[in-house]
């Protein structure tokens, strides 16, 4: 038997805090990146109960971690325990990546850039001047809404089963757009519930439709985020679904039947992890390595871990 020398006294520590945590594929992604880049870094999943969050964050700093990721339900609450927060993370109101350097903990949000980077790569276009529709009004919807506004979308419509929640998010994003310097403000930011025929007109005029809801996610794979009456699309439209399990949701299957460009959320998940790794190491990963890592990651994501025991 050969001794395992992968972890030693010089190994840099990173990881993920959340509750629950066992379903995450982030450890496989980050440890694969470290292997490909020949870096002495290990990434550990850490299940942190809510009452232990302040102690856990302080403990990671005391233990000499280089940084850590943050997942549900702590992306907003962790901000109270950090020394600095990036401008984009503050605008979004959520942190998913923390870098610890010289005793300073700084929070970032790589979900937004992970989404935008994956979208540009997989569709060959961006949001500038586009009419964008977002389905859902939760945390992921907020992250993506702020990002498309910062990237100069022409118009943004938010549709949610609860209209009040969509309207509140639209108001928040409108305020952010108004307060942000060097942002080309959308001509219109609106929120609405799922009521026909209003959403039929909204969907019909869209250039890009983004599903941020869990509708269609495993195990409820037959669900669709829109009523069937509103699912009449045009081949020029781009449909992006943040879900990656299953790889093709009912929503994407329907979109592709109309000849639309359909993209799932696997690239977003991958690129937000890559962005976090680059923040911790200060090292830009080459496109060649990204292609190799994504090939391996696709296999991992096809068989994700089961939930917490």
The residues annotated as belonging to the active site are 75
Q: With contact defined as beta carbons under 8 Å apart, do 70 and 40 qualify?
A: no
CA angle 166, 168, 174 (to 5 degrees): 100
Coil, strand or helix: which one is 126? coil
Residue carrying the six token digits 């403990």: 59
Nearest to 108 by CA among 94, 123, 128, 119: 94
Q: What are the residues facing 211 on neighbouring strands? A: 135, 241
The H-or-E segment that residue 155 falls in is strand 155-159
Backbone phi and psi for residue 289, each to the nearest 5 degrees, phi listed first:
-70, -35
Burial class of residue 217 (count of CB atoms within 10 Å of its CB; 0-12, 13-18, 19+): middle
């Amino acid at each position: 038997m050969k001794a395992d020398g992968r972890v030693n006294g010089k190994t840099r520590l990173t990881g993920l805090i959340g509750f629950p945590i066992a379903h995450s594929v982030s450890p496989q992604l980050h440890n694969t990146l470290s292997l490909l880049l020949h870096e002495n870094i290990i990434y550990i999943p850490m299940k942190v109960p809510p009452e232990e969050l302040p102690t856990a964050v302080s403990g990671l700093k005391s233990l000499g971690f280089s940084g850590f990721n943050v997942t549900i339900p702590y992306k907003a609450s962790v901000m109270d325990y950090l020394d600095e927060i990036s401008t984009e993370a503050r605008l979004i109101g959520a942190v998913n990546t923390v870098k610890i350097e010289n005793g300073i903990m700084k929070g970032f949000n790589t979900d937004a850039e992970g989404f935008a980077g994956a979208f540009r790569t997989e569709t060959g276009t961006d949001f500038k001047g586009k009419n964008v529709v977002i389905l859902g009004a939760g945390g992921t919807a907020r992250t993506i809404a702020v990002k498309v506004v910062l990237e100069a979308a022409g118009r943004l419509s938010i549709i949610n089963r609860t209209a009040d929640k969509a309207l509140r998010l639209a108001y928040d994003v409108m305020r952010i757009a108004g307060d942000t310097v060097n942002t080309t403000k959308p001509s219109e930011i609106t929120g609405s519930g799922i009521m026909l025929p209003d959403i039929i007109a909204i969907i019909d005029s869209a250039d890009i439709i983004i599903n941020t809801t869990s509708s269609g996610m495993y195990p409820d794979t037959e669900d669709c985020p829109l009523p069937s009456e509103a699912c009449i699309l045009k081949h020029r439209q781009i449909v992006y679904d943040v879900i990656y399990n299953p790889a093709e949701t009912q929503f994407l299957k329907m979109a592709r039947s109309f000849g639309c460009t359909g993209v799932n959320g696997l690239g977003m998940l991958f690129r937000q992890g890559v962005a976090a790794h680059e923040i911790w190491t200060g090292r830009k990963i080459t496109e060649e390595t990204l292609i190799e890592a994504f090939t391996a990651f696709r296999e991992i994501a096809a068989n994700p871990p089961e939930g917490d025991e």
